[in-house]
């Protein structure tokens, strides 16, 4: 595929005066855990260890998300399992992520700092599954004696309900590898996501030993706000309550309407959809009603995270990007996500322009009359880092609770690549 060069695009986009930008801080009141390891130890004490035989193998499920304190939490869980007289083994519990391959899932964990050396136990990344009363479960999980998912509880990027992203969904999807993810999403299309999660968790608790889970809730600054151990029999009800806490503390944009949002990078380590749909106000799913807020006319994506290894699933939620981003996409991994989940539109390709400068200019000028003096623009690192970001001068003039204006910022382009800094 041949993309149009800068000379051709220059003739299609008139010279743009960019708005002035200001750095802002966003710090809504939020709790923070001071000692994550100690909180994790306390969480482990809540689990029913007496249900297990001495020396039992506990399968610790670890996901693909960029949870801030996942390394100390996971390491403390592994150590805690061993200290209680059991044998820990970690498995990538991430459905089809990592390109739906054992090597890719190991690589995904390693990118998060989760290696055998760090964890102090083996990682069994086998993708083969067996059927457990209609539910595919990884053989690596079935070879153990009990399941223990470790995951962040947060609003999901596909749907809304009493259960969204967390321990239960990891059990329903993550432990089933690609086969489990496919069965889950087929069921969710027919019966709904929450119903499918609940049914799968009920089945696994009946057929296997689900010890429980270790749940992490993060605050708006991407810090750990809570670590809690949830016994297996309490998973459905307690996680629903934890989800409400997560919604109260989650990072969101403090603006209901924007002319444009510039996202410097997207990736699987940020969100399953590359950028959190709860932040950008777009689901992009068949038969799913779009969120009412925020309303954003144009979204420009300028790059991918290193840890996503080219998996740009979610790029389809953007309106414009760059040629460099498209050329760096690992389409095989993206399509594994899209075809497994049925979210094809999220892996569609947006308009790709030669440089960051072209992409930002197109985002600003393609949604109606543009005036740099009144343009409502936010510029963020990614949707997981919203404690500090940049806004246009017009937006900075609006008083918003929790938002503090810090200092003017300089937008510069070098060979078309953008930098925005104080």
> Total domain count for the chain?
2
Query: In this model, does residue 342 exceed pLDDT 90?
Result: no
- Co-location of 19 and 69 in the same domain: no
What mean pLDDT comes out for the span 318-330? 97
Rounded average pLDDT over 267-291: 83
Percent of the chain with pLDDT over 90: 76
Last residue of a domain, one of 249, 284, 303: 249
C-alpha 144/C-alpha 41 separation (Å) is: 22
Residues 100 and 219 in one domain: yes
Would you say 106 and 92 are in contact if contact means Cβ atoms under 8 Å apart? yes
- Mean pLDDT of the chain, nearest integer: 93
Give the range among 22-31, 32-41, 301-310 with minimum mean pLDDT.
22-31
Strand, coil or helix: what is 293?
Answer: coil
Lowest mean pLDDT: which of 29-38, 137-146, 157-166?
A: 157-166
Rounded Cα distance between 139 and 98, Å, is 18
Q: What is the pLDDT of residue 297?
A: 97
In the predicted structure, residue 120 carries a pLDDT above the cut 80: yes
Residues 6+ apart with CB under 8 A from 366: 298, 319, 320
- CB–CB of 200/191 below 8 Å? no
Give the H or E element holding residue 406.
Answer: strand 403-414
For residue 56, is it within any domain? yes
pTM of the entire predicted model: 0.70
326/218 same-domain check: no
User: Which of 249, 281, 316 is the C-terminal boundary of a domain?
Assistant: 249
Residue 412 belongs to domain spanning: 6-28+254-421
Asked if pLDDT for residue 286 goes beyond 90, the answer is: no
Report the pLDDT value the prediction gives residue 161, as an integer from 0 to 100.
Answer: 83
Q: Average pLDDT of 296-303?
A: 98
Is residue 66 predicted with pLDDT exceeding 70? yes
- 206-210, 335-339, 364-368, 373-377: segment of lowest average pLDDT: 335-339
Do 109 and 220 lie in one domain? The reply is yes
pLDDT band per the 50, 70, 90 thresholds, residue 190: confident
**Domain assignment of residue 153, yes or no:** yes
């Amino acid at each position: 595929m041949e993309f149009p060069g800068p000379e051709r695009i220059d003739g299609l986009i008139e010279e743009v005066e960019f708005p002035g930008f200001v750095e802002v801080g966003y710090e809504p009141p939020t709790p923070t855990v001071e000692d994550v390891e100690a909180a994790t130890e306390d969480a482990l004490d809540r689990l029913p260890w007496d249900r297990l035989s001495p020396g039992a193998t506990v399968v610790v499920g670890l996901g693909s998300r960029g949870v801030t304190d996942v390394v100390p939490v996971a390491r403390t869980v592994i150590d805690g399992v061993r200290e209680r007289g059991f044998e820990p083994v970690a498995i990538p519990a991430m459905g089809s992520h990592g390109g739906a391959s054992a090597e890719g899932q190991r690589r995904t964990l390693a990118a998060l700092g989760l290696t055998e050396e760090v964890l102090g136990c083996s990682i069994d990344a086998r993708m083969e599954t067996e059927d457990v009363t209609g539910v595919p479960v990884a053989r690596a999980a079935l070879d153990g004696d009990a399941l223990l998912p470790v995951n962040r509880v947060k609003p999901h990027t596909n749907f809304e309900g009493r259960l969204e992203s967390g321990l239960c969904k990891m059990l329903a999807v993550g432990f089933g590898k690609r086969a489990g993810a496919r069965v889950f999403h087929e069921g969710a299309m027919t019966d709904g996501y929450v119903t499918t999660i609940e049914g799968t968790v009920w089945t696994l608790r009946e057929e296997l030993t689900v010890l429980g889970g270790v749940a992490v809730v993060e605050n708006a600054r991407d810090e750990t706000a809570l670590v809690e151990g949830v016994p297996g029999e309490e998973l459905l009800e307690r996680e629903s309550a934890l989800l409400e806490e997560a919604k109260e503390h989650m990072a969101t944009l403090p603006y209901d309407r924007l002319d444009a949002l510039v996202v410097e990078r997207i990736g699987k380590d940020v969100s399953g959809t590359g950028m959190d749909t709860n932040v950008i106000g777009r689901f992009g799913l068949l038969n799913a009603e779009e969120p009412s807020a925020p309303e954003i006319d144009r979204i420009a994506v300028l790059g991918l995270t290193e840890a996503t290894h080219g998996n740009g699933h979610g790029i389809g939620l953007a309106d414009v990007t760059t040629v460099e981003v498209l050329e760096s996409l690992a389409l095989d991994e993206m399509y594994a996500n899209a075809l497994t989940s049925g979210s094809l539109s999220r892996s569609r390709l947006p308009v790709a322009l030669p440089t960051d400068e072209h992409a930002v200019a197109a985002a600003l000028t393609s949604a109606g009359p543009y005036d740099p003096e009144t343009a409502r623009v936010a510029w963020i690192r990614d949707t997981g880092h919203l404690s500090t970001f940049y806004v246009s001068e017009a937006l900075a003039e609006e008083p918003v609770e929790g938002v503090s204006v810090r200092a003017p910022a300089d937008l510069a382009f070098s060979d078309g690549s953008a930098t925005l800094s104080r």
